Amino acid sequence: MMNARVSSRSAAGVLAAALLAACGSHSSIGVPGTMPQSHVFVTHAERGGSWMLPEAKSEDLLYVSGPHKIYVFSYPAAKAVGTLTGLNNPQGICSDRDGNVWITDHLTRGRGKIVEFAHGGSTPIAHLADPFAATACAVDPRTNNLAVANDCYSCSGILAIYPNSHGEPKLYAGPAQVPYSCAIDGAGDVFEAGFVGVYAVGVVWLPHGTSQLKYFNLRPKNYPHAGVQWDGRYLAAGSAVARIHRYIVGKNSGRGIGAIILDGGSHMLQFAIQENTLIGTVPGKVLFWKYPAGGSVVRTISSVKEPYGVAVSLAPSH
């Protein structure tokens, strides 16, 4: 039985196992991909610390969370360029308008923290001591406000918004018991996907300028086990059965415009959208599809152990 005391990673894993389906076969990108890179990768792996190749700072990057660490790849080439360690249970990842990356680290006993890294950096540049168990995040590109979804264990989910990504957060109680995904649209509306009951999964939202989270009525009904993302026009909600559903926000909020089929995307855990590419994590792999076309997988990373959260960080020069 699923309940509010199950971590978001564990909850997603239970759902993934229940809905396990065969993925199509595709060529994989091994990590590392060249002999010199392999030497660098092994050297740092033996030391057990964070590392980052010098060229990472000038490249667009893909960050993927795994057990106790973050894997960093060049984007879209998917070459391993770094690993971030020193984390307990990293889950959600989001990037801001400067390319800085925030990671929600789910700690023990219902506590959490949010750690910030500069784009391509291997040492944290900021920490936020979250009052609850941080599970996911999103940054408003207009205001630089950081929204953090929290599982507070003994109550309903808490949305924390840090003005300009620092200081004390404003807290909003919501009906989501175990939120595991967060997104912000172009108007500053904040969305959370998560468990809203023992078994039910849904979306709640904080419309810009309001002070109360409420249900976002999805029509047709959908169960966004893989979370939500803003694609620049629609709210995209990922299901565990290889589909992305898109919904209107604003007038006619919640009305769907159709589903996108993702070959090999069954039991998808989380996803990110970067212009015409969708990147999703499934057990043991990170998969790339064209967006919004969907269909066949166009690239695979198979070197991340238990991938979960995923985000693209654009180089500051971009």
CATH number, domain with residue 201? 2.120.10.30
Mean pLDDT, all residues of the chain: 85
The stretch 277-291 carries a mean pLDDT of: 98
| Predicted confidence (pLDDT) at residue 70 exceeds the cutoff of 50 | yes
Beta bridge partners of 191: 183, 205
Number of domains in the chain: 1
132 falls within a domain: yes
**What radius of gyration do the chain's Cα atoms show?**
18
96 falls within a domain: yes
Euclidean distance between CA atoms 222 and 241, whole angstroms: 11
The stretch 56-77 carries a mean pLDDT of: 97
257 falls within a domain: yes
3 falls within a domain: no
- Report in angstroms the alpha-carbon separations of 38 from 75, 80, 82, 163, 200: 18, 9, 12, 41, 44
pLDDT tens sequence across 143-185: 999 999 988 766 667 899 999 999 999 999 877 668 899 999 9
- The three-class DSSP label of residue 311 is strand
The stretch 244-269 carries a mean pLDDT of: 96
Predicted local distance difference test score (pLDDT) of residue 109: 58
1 falls within a domain: no
Predicted local distance difference test score (pLDDT) of residue 155: 66
Euclidean distance between CA atoms 182 and 198, whole angstroms: 20
151 falls within a domain: yes
**In this prediction, what percent of the chain has a pLDDT beyond 90?**
69
2 falls within a domain: no
- The three-class DSSP label of residue 216 is coil
Residues with Cβ < 8 Å from 193, sequence gap 6 or more?
Answer: 176, 179, 180, 181, 182, 201, 202, 203, 224, 227, 228, 237
318 falls within a domain: no
Predicted local distance difference test score (pLDDT) of residue 35: 33
Which residues form the domain of 45? 8-313
Tell me the pTM: 0.85
